Amino acid sequence: MTTARLVDSGLQDGIDEELDRSLRPRQLDDFVGQERIKEQLSIVLEAARSRREALDHVLLAGPPGLGKTSLAYVVREELGVGLRTVAGPALERKDVAAILTSLEERDVLFIDEIHRLNRAAEEMLYPALEDFRIDIVMGQGPAARTLALDLPPFTLVGATTRTGLLTTPLRDRFGMTFRLDYYEPEDLARIVRRSARILTVEIADEAAEEIARRSRGTPRVANRILRRVRDVAEVRHEGAVTVGIAHEALELLEVDEHGLERSDRALLEAIVGKFGGGPVGLSTLAVALGEEPDTIEDVYEPYLLQLGFIQRTQRGRVVTELGRAHIGAAGVQPEHESLF
């Protein structure tokens, strides 16, 4: 059972990518939420500007869609320097030297999904991050020699959704590590209103708040829902987004009051209806849903765990009382509670 999802799955069409870029904040003051991180960043950015030095290397961690890439762009804009962007899985050892030697002084190198760097590329980064040099081996066998190339001081900004997969030597070379948290509905409503202004969409405050409540605490999801609500408003109505139109669009998208989509509810219903509420193993659940285990673990489960709708136990996944109540199965008892 594969369904289209509003949450980020790592694959975006070109139009959505272009819109994402257009909605990104340009300055730190325009970045909504994450106040603790913004305060710390504002201090180190001002210090780097005043000393005309490269900013210390920055690691941004957190779930997808919370603004890690946007913060990297903000850092570049605040410093007024160049930016090179590369995806961690695509970076090979032979590419590292070419990218690093093309950087100008104080430029920003942004590596997304940095935990997926291959080991050879990662090890080549070590001297570049610490001493601003790279070592290139010339020739082969006994005639081989090492050539050291000096690099201009630069800033590496790494983004990761899986901090635990970073190796200790790489993680220790970052001078600052920031973990982005899920957003409160109030901050998401501000983001929705800002995005609506950029997209020239007239939206009622109540409609923005309703979209925010169903956006899973994630700005990227809020912006995507806003675009789909805008489509409904333009095609079926006069273009302005009221709370009634927002409800109509959200019902069409099958996004409920907790931000769950059809696939999320199907997971809960499968555990309750087919496995008595659990426990059920991940591989068994994946077969029952027709999904890959990694998709269930990385895409579906995090938000359900955050809401307290499911639990991971040693014996498998269990739907909690909250989860059963959400799908109207409050009277169904989990299997592990009725074994004896």
Q: Report the catalytic residues.
A: 68-69, 112, 161, 220
Residue 117: enclosing H or E segment and its boundaries?
Answer: none
Helix axes 219-236, 14-23, angle to 10 degrees: 110
Cα 283 versus chain centre, distance: 25
Closest to 120 (Cα-Cα) out of 81, 146, 88, 143: 88
Is the bond leading into 63 cis (omega within 30 degrees of zero)? no
Distance CA 218, CA 184 (A): 9
206 touches 212 (CB < 8 A):
no
What CA dihedral angle connects 233, 239, 242 and 248, to 10 degrees? -10
Closest to 219 (Cα-Cα) out of 14, 23, 17: 23
208 touches 189 (CB < 8 A):
yes
Helix axes 93-101, 119-131, angle to 10 degrees: 30
User: Which residues are within 8 A (CB) of 258 and not within 5 positions of it... i.e. 6 or more apart?
Assistant: 214, 307, 326
Collapsed DSSP state (helix, strand, coil) of residue 15: helix
